[in-house]
């Protein structure tokens, strides 16, 4: 039996190789994977033209996944450096990479990325449009925006952020309800500016059905972008954010009617006490579609440390229903991240994702921690390094300050609790001095 997309296959009762791969990784039956995919609660972004992909599932009951942003820009157009970041992100086991390229040889970079990446690839076509056509935003036509999306689909991109929720009505709501930080989504601001300058409707909203034709043909997952995400804790959960979310819920159902897989993007900056309610609201308004969040960043005053503010919010968000975390690096709000920034962002996001998976009761999550605790109890340093999220750093710290006795560390020495209790329980004597 033929199928057009992973969702179409699920609804027809067909098990695809991608579903089987996700079932093995997640230790969940393929029947359960297929059922939740048919309902839109799990997605497997897998473009038909992405041949090097190792499929991952995103959604209900699955491990929380993380995404890494990179790409070339006018100020930082080092093609090779960005490809080095790709290799590092894959080595660190990021499940997704978003190419945010907006200048120069964007298609060449995108094609290289898809060819080499086992991780799923996302893009934001509106970023690419200005550079690709080499003309001012106001001169780009609605047709040209759609054509860029089609080029990305042909190149093998697995999911695309499409800012279709900021239509003329949403824009008017934004203008009537003043914000401290206005619109901080780059893609959202470009679409808003285009609508204001041209007087036209958002092309991704007006021609949404044509966009779905493209996504269905290549099995691209639509990531419904949150143009009105809050850029400060002052603006969270306001009229603009909520109205856009309602529109995204409607667009979700229209995509599902065409068997196009959907995830929905969310905030942004948000105080800790608002996060859980926002996760519930998204799941209700968007009918259980997987939720992809940037942060949320729980405070606005930590530039240089926003990987931490993001990880705090991400852990709370994922524990309350978010399925996919977009990493934030220490360079957020300041500059393009370098390799070390990227690593710090990935590690922080992976910690947040795993902490949430423990809370959600995801299969195998606690067992990882149990193994680490057992290695600690046995003072098995190699075992600890092998289990650590960043074993390289753990080993470096250990080797930088060697203790007198190998069965301890330089913090406690012979007062090591693990060492002494182990000895006492074995009937051995201990010497502290």
Residue found under tokens 């996919």: 324
Residues 75 and 206 in one domain: yes
Sign, CA dihedral 4-7-11-15, equals: positive
Q: Are residues 314 and 338 in the same domain?
A: yes
Last residue of a domain, one of 330, 360, 390: 360
The answer to whether residues 408 and 386 belong to one domain is no
Binding-site positions for substrate read: 69, 98, 127, 163, 185-187, 226-229, 265, 292
> Is residue 67 within 8 Å of 327, Cβ to Cβ?
yes
Instruction: Establish if 148 belongs to a structural domain.
Output: yes
**Cα separation of 288 and 407, whole Å?**
50
Model pLDDT for residues 146-191, shown as the tens digit of each residue: 999 999 999 999 999 999 999 999 999 999 999 999 999 999 999 9
pTM above 0.75, yes or no: yes
Where does residue 143 rank: exposed (0-12), middle (13-18), buried (19+ CB within 10 A)?
A: exposed
In a domain, 243, yes or no: yes
Measuring CA to CA, which residue among 185, 31, 7 is closest to residue 100?
Answer: 185
**Among candidate residues 67, 183, 177, 174, the one with its CA nearest the CA of residue 119:** 67
Please check whether residues 343 and 413 belong to one and the same domain: no
Q: What dihedral do alpha carbons 140, 142, 147, 153 form, nearest 10°?
A: 120
Annotated binding site for Zn(2+): 269, 333
**DSSP code of residue 414:** G
Triad 253, 274, 124: Cα angle to 5°: 45
Binding site for [4Fe-4S] cluster: what residues are annotated? 409, 412, 416
The answer to whether residues 39 and 20 belong to one domain is yes
Q: What is the chain's mean pLDDT, rounded?
A: 95
Count CB neighbours of 2 within 10 A: 7
Q: Looking at the structure, tell me whether residues 159 and 278 fall in a common domain.
A: yes
Does 235 have pLDDT greater than 80? Answer: yes
Residue 365 lies in a domain: no
Instruction: Give the chain's count of helices (H) and strands (E).
Output: 19, 10
Same domain, 132 and 224: yes
Cα 288 → chain centroid? 17
Residues placed in the known binding site: 69, 98, 127, 163, 185-187, 226-229, 265, 269, 292, 333, 409, 412, 416
Q: Tell me the average pLDDT across 211-235.
A: 98
Q: Find the CATH number of the domain harbouring 60.
A: 3.20.20.540
1 occurs within a structural domain: no
Question: Comparing C-alpha atoms, which of 81, 221, 239 is closest to residue 156?
Answer: 221
In terms of domains, do 396 and 410 share one?
Answer: no
Q: At what angle do helices 417-425 and 365-377 cross, to 10 degrees?
A: 70
For residue 171, tell me if it sits in a domain.
Answer: yes
pLDDT at 75 over 80: no
Identify whether residues 396 and 416 lie together within a single domain: no
Q: Domain count of the chain?
A: 3
* Residue 144 shares a structural domain with residue 262: yes
322 inside domain: yes
Residue 213 predicted with pLDDT over 80: yes
- The residues that bridge with 121 in the sheet, in sequence order, are 97
Give me the count of residues in the chain: 433
Mind listing the pLDDT tens digit for each residue in 116-147?
999 999 999 999 998 889 889 999 999 999 99
394: domain range?
370-400
* Residue 351 within any structural domain of the chain: yes
Pair (311, 376) in one structural domain: no
Residue 365: predicted pLDDT = 97
Say if 328 falls within a structural domain.
yes
245 with 310, same domain: the answer is: yes
Q: For 267-299, write each residue's pLDDT tens digit.
A: 999 999 999 999 999 999 999 999 999 999 999
Asked if residue 88 has a cis previous peptide bond (ω within 30° of 0), the answer is no
Distances (CA, A) of 86 to 135, 185, 338, 343: 29, 23, 12, 11
């Amino acid at each position: 039996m033929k199928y057009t997309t992973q969702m179409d296959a699920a609804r027809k009762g067909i098990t695809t190789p991608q579903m089987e791969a996700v079932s093995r990784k997640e230790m969940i039956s393929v029947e359960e994977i297929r059922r939740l995919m048919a309902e839109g609660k799990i997605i497997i972004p897998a473009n038909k033209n992405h041949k090097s992909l190792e499929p991952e599932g995103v959604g209900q009951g699955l491990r929380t996944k993380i995404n890494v942003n990179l790409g070339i820009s006018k100020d930082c157009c080092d093609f090779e450096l960005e490809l080095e970041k790709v290799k590092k992100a894959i080595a660190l086991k990021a499940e997704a990479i978003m190419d945010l390229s907006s200048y120069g040889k964007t298609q060449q970079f995108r094609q290289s990325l898809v060819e080499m990446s086992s991780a799923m690839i996302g893009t934001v076509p509106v970023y690419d449009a200005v550079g690709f056509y080499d003309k001012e935003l106001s001169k780009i036509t609605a047709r040209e925006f759609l054509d860029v999306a089609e080029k990305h689909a042909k190149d093998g991109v697995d999911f695309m952020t499409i800012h279709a929720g900021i239509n003329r009505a949403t824009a008017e709501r934004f203008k009537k309800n003043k914000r401290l930080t206005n619109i901080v989504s780059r893609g959202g601001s470009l679409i808003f500016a285009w609508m204001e300058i041209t007087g036209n409707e958002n092309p991704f909203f007006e021609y949404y059905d044509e966009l779905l034709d493209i996504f269905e043909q290549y099995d691209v997952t639509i990531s419904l972008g949150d143009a009105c995400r809050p850029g400060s804790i002052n603006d969270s959960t306001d009229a603009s954010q909520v109205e856009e979310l309602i529109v995204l819920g409607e667009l979700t159902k229209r995509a599902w009617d065409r068997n196009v897989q959907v995830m929905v993007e969310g905030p942004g900056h948000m105080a800790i006490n608002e996060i859980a309610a926002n996760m519930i609201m998204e799941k209700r308004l968007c009918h259980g579609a997987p939720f992809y969040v940037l942060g949320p960043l729980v405070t606005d005053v930590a530039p240089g440390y926003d990987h931490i503010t993001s990880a705090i919010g991400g852990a709370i968000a994922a524990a309350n229903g978010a399925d996919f975390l977009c990493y934030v690096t220490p360079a957020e709000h300041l500059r393009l991240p370098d390799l070390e920034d990227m690593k710090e962002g990935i590690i922080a996001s992976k910690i947040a994702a795993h902490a949430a998976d423990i809370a959600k009761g995801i299969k195998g999550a606690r067992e990882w921690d149990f193994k680490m605790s057992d290695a600690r109890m046995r003072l098995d340093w190699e075992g600890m390094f092998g289990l650590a999220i960043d074993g390289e750093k753990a080993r470096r710290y250990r080797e930088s300050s060697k203790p007198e006795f190998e069965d301890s560390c330089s913090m406690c020495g012979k007062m090591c609790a693990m060492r002494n209790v182990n000895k006492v329980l074995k009937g051995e004597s201990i010497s502290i001095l």
